[in-house]
């Protein structure tokens, strides 16, 4: 995996989201090894993996449609957490909802993240 490509993407996120970007982490879903991060909070990868695994299990148990592209959570203190899961990797994004418009996040940032993420992983 070419970390420099992820580094470029994180710089792009910082440029696009400015002070609205609180944290972003790219990690291996099995080992929880961090590939690239900005403003990482210890143990957050474990928490994010637990959220995903638990949610997916509930959806399977109740025979609901699978979660497709990402999960989005509106947290306390006007924070939004986005979790992308592609192949064996996760890319999380924590933003300040007061500084990042939801439309920009949903229509520009997340689709760009997914596309770049898939491109980088395909090259690896």
Cβ atoms of residues 85 and 121 within 8 Å: no
Torsion angle of the four alpha carbons 77, 48, 72, 120, in this order, in degrees rounded to the nearest 10: 120
Range of the domain at 108: 3-123
Residue 25 to residue 4: CA distance in whole angstroms: 14
Give the chain's domain count: 1
How large is the average pLDDT for residues 29-46?
A: 92
Q: Residue 64: its pLDDT value, please?
A: 92
| pTM of this prediction exceeds 0.85 | yes
Beta pairing, strands 34-38 & 21-28 = antiparallel
Residue 2 is classified by DSSP as -
The runs of H, that is alpha helices, within the chain are: 3-17, 44-61, 102-104, 110-123
Does residue 84 contact residue 117 with C-beta atoms inside 8 Å?
Answer: yes
Q: How far is CA 102 from CA 20, 26, 113, in A?
A: 11, 21, 15
Q: What is the CATH number of the domain that holds 110?
A: 3.30.450.190
Using CA atoms, how far apart are residues 109 and 111, in angstroms rounded to an integer? Answer: 6
Tokens of 113: 């993240």
Read off the pLDDT band of 6 (50, 70, 90). confident
Angle, helices 3-17/110-123, rounded to nearest 10 degrees: 170
Taking only the tens place, the pLDDT of each residue in 40-58 is: 998 999 999 999 999 999 9
């Amino acid at each position: 995996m070419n970390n420099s490509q992820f580094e470029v993407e994180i710089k792009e996120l910082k440029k696009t989201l400015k002070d609205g970007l609180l944290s972003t982490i790219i990690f291996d879903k099995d080992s929880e090894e961090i590939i690239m991060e900005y403003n990482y909070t210890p143990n957050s990868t474990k928490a994010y993996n637990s959220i995903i695994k638990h949610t997916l299990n509930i959806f399977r148990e109740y025979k609901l449609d699978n979660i497709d592209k990402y999960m989005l959570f509106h947290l306390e203190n006007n924070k939004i957490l986005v979790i992308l899961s592609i192949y064996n990797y996760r890319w999380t994004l924590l933003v300040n909802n007061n500084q990042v418009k939801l439309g920009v996040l949903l229509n520009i940032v997340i689709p760009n993240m997914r596309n770049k993420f898939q491109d980088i992983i395909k090259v690896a």
